[in-house]
Amino acid sequence: MPKLSAGTKGTSSPGREPAFAPSLSPRFAAYVRDYLMDREVNPGPIFEHCQIDFNNSEEYDRPLPVERVAQLFERAAEVTDNPFMGLSMGQDFHYESSSLLVVAMLAAPSVGEGLSFLNAYDHYIDTAIKTSYHPTYTPAEFSADLLHEGGAHMAQLNDYLMGFLVQTLNVATRSRIPLLEVTLQHKKPRDISGLQSFFQCQISFGSDHNSIRFHPKFLTQPFLTSNKLLFRVLASAMETYFSLGDEHQGFVGTVCRQIMLQESMQYTDSENIAERLRVSPRTLRRKLAEEGFTFQEAKNLARERRAKFLLANSKASLTDIAFELGYSELSAFSRAFRGWVGETPQSYRESIKSLLQ
């Protein structure tokens, strides 16, 4: 990711290829769609105006530029004549449409563990959001800053991020978070009555961060939405799919995660991964080479992680797993897996099973 400060415009030299652009999950578009349809507003023209595909809403679909999502939020606020549209979206969030990240967060045992999980994994899915979590501060603080190149109006999107976070904590604990201060990166709007009514605390504008600050004792508050088994399963899945280990961080880690987000690896190649990361195929290959990898080696890393996950956590047949990973024959998958792990897929599955007994 380029070293962009939140709200700071990046620079590029003439003739140079664009850097890897921060993006947001297509789920953000789905949330706007839900908000509009709840109010019997046709989302089609609004999405078309912002050049966003109305049907692009799955987590593994092509990520959206943060500026385009911000434009969608602003346009929706204008059409619905609601200056607090972002905040309203956060308050009226459809939890049945939650992303995997939100589902996992709500399954956590407590506020502290839920925020810790969100901080650990959100940037893998939404590369345009930089989170920071300080549970030992007094007051405790959680921030979510948008990385963008400037020019876009971010107020509605900022309001949504903080409104959604506070509403989710309120819903999960069935209590009201003891907010001491909310800070927002955008300038103070003419009317702040809706924000004051919802947050009921000091609100600072033009700040360095979008953040909530609250009494540390709230971190021990249990989530009434907690499901420890579900949390353990989803945490394991997120670790497998997104955290490739310290030895595979950097751009190769980003490429691996994007490969693993695809519905199937069978037709995944450097061209479509480059498109989803909004870089040229040449830039993709160059940035991988700088870290000592080819695209095929990155793809094999992703295959290894997905294979281990499916062998350990599913009852899928070896043939189905081989096909899922893009191998036309089981024998080819078995040879590759033995090269990665040193044992056959079946023996790996049996060894994992024995460890869990």
The residues spanned by each domain of the chain are: 23-220, 244-356
CB-CB neighbours of 331 under 10 Å: 10
Backbone angles phi, psi at 213, to 5 degrees: -125, 135
From the list 275, 276, 295, the residue with the least C-alpha distance to 285 is 295
The model's pTM is 0.71
Same fold, 23-220 and 244-356: no
**Predicted local distance difference test score (pLDDT) of residue 242:** 62
To which residue do tokens 């994007």 refer? 258
pLDDT score at 96 = 82
Contact 132, 146 (CB under 8 A): no
Q: What is the pLDDT along the chain (357 residues), one digit of tens a residue?
A: 333 445 443 333 333 333 456 788 888 998 999 999 999 999 999 999 999 887 766 655 677 888 999 999 999 999 999 999 999 999 999 888 888 889 999 999 999 999 999 998 887 778 789 899 999 999 999 999 998 766 568 999 999 999 999 999 999 999 999 999 999 999 999 999 999 999 999 999 999 999 999 999 999 999 999 999 899 888 877 776 665 544 556 788 888 878 877 766 777 889 888 887 878 899 999 999 998 999 999 998 888 888 887 787 677 889 988 988 888 899 999 999 999 889 999 998 888 776 655
| Cβ pair 28, 170 in contact under 8 A | no
The fold of the 244-356 domain, in CATH, is: Arc Repressor Mutant, subunit A (1.10.10)
The structural architecture, per CATH, of the domain 23-220 is: Alpha-Beta Complex (3.90)
Looking at residue 14, its pLDDT comes to 36
pLDDT number for residue 17 = 36
The CA dihedral of 12, 13, 17, 20, to the nearest 10 degrees, is -20
Say what the pLDDT of residue 233 is: 82
For residues 355 and 308, the answer to whether their CB atoms sit within 8 Å is: no
Residues 325, 303 contacting (CB under 8 angstroms): yes
